[in-house]
Amino acid sequence: MANPQNDQTSEIPLWLPQSFLDAHPLDQPGHYAEALNVYNDLITRAPANILAYILQGRALWNLARRDEASSSYLHALHLAEQALKEQPNNNRAHLYRADALFMLDREEEALAEYDKAIQLDPDAYEAYLNKGWTQYILGHNREALVLYQRAHELRPDDADIVWRMNITYWHTGQYEKALEALEQAIALDPSQVRFYGDLATTIDSLGRHEEAMEMQKRAEAMEAQELQEAVSRYQQAYGKEA
């Protein structure tokens, strides 16, 4: 899925405000309903926001409300297609159409749509990144890594890109490369709590079990703090118990 943008000047409302950042840590077991409330509120305020519907669909899916999730993804797809009727060469609309297709398990169509986004803008790093993730989900690890590398060349400061490299390396048993990528991701953005749990897993895979246990404890403490802060923001914004 594409990264959120703060471009509020775009003719097509594709950006996400601070509320996305507030909701994201809640998007985990036990708090999906709260994350969904934030996404629903965002849609109320920005009903043409394509990415908001994709995120709404993901939260609904995690709540086992699968039919509603599919409806959200289909609405995102509809919005993207409406946008493309007005602006056929809008790279970001193609990107979000591809994201919606991916969430609907229409991976081959998504790949073709990412290619359209890349054709329109060869420097669209998000298209390479999300196409790479789609290839990874399809089991095409070599193709995924090539696409991640291209995305990394375009955005060497983006921690999410090298984090996804780590995932692909780890799942193919390349633990040393996975660790290298993960350490690079942490260096780029040490505030990303999810990286540290993966670091513990990767270290453990290399046989460094005691070190991994200590890192896992640190990761769990960081996750608990991040969640507590997110719950506090939610309560302040909505006056509800999370």
SS3 per residue for 169-185:
HHHCCCHHHHHHHHHHH
- The beta strands (E) that lie in the chain are given as none
Query: Which pLDDT score is estimated for 10?
Result: 38
Instruction: Tell me how far the alpha carbon of residue 47 is from its chain's centroid.
Output: 21
- 26, 35 in Cβ contact below 8 A? yes
- 178, 166 in Cβ contact below 8 A? yes
Query: Which pLDDT score is estimated for 239?
Result: 65
Same domain, 45 and 111: yes
Q: Cβ neighbours of residue 167 under 8 Å, at least 6 residues apart?
A: 136, 178, 198
Torsion angle of the four alpha carbons 38, 42, 47, 53, in this order, in degrees rounded to the nearest 10: -50
Give the range of the structural domain holding residue 89, as residue numbers without chain letter.
1-140
Query: Which pLDDT score is estimated for 232?
Result: 80
Query: Which pLDDT score is estimated for 140?
Result: 97
Query: Which pLDDT score is estimated for 174?
Result: 97
Same domain, 120 and 85: yes
Instruction: Specify the CATH number for the domain of residue 163.
Output: 1.25.40.10
Q: Tell which residue, 129, 124, 92, 97, has the closest CA to residue 113.
A: 97
At 90 the three-state DSSP class reads coil
Query: Which pLDDT score is estimated for 14?
Result: 41
Number of domains in the chain: 2
Same domain, 58 and 175: no
Query: Which pLDDT score is estimated for 3?
Result: 44
Instruction: Round to whole Å and give the CA distance between 88 and 46.
Output: 22
Query: Which pLDDT score is estimated for 223?
Result: 85
Residue with tokens 């993804």: 73
- 212, 201 in Cβ contact below 8 A? yes
Residue 56 domain-assigned?
yes
- 36, 24 in Cβ contact below 8 A? no
Query: Which pLDDT score is estimated for 80?
Result: 95
Which structure tokens are listed for 6? 């703060």
- 36, 52 in Cβ contact below 8 A? no
Residue 145 domain-assigned?
no
Same domain, 128 and 194: no
List per-residue pLDDT tens for the chain, 242 residues long: 544 333 332 344 444 444 444 556 666 667 788 888 888 988 888 888 898 899 899 999 999 999 999 999 999 999 999 999 999 999 999 999 999 999 999 999 999 999 999 999 999 999 999 999 999 999 999 999 999 999 999 999 999 999 999 999 999 999 999 999 999 999 999 988 889 999 999 999 999 999 999 999 999 999 888 888 877 877 777 665 55
Same domain, 136 and 161: no
Same domain, 131 and 170: no
Q: Tell which residue, 17, 6, 34, 16, has the closest CA to residue 227.
A: 34
Torsion over CA: 64, 66, 68, 73 (sign): positive
Same domain, 108 and 223: no
Torsion angle of the four alpha carbons 85, 102, 191, 24, in this order, in degrees rounded to the nearest 10: 80
Residue type for 158, please? D
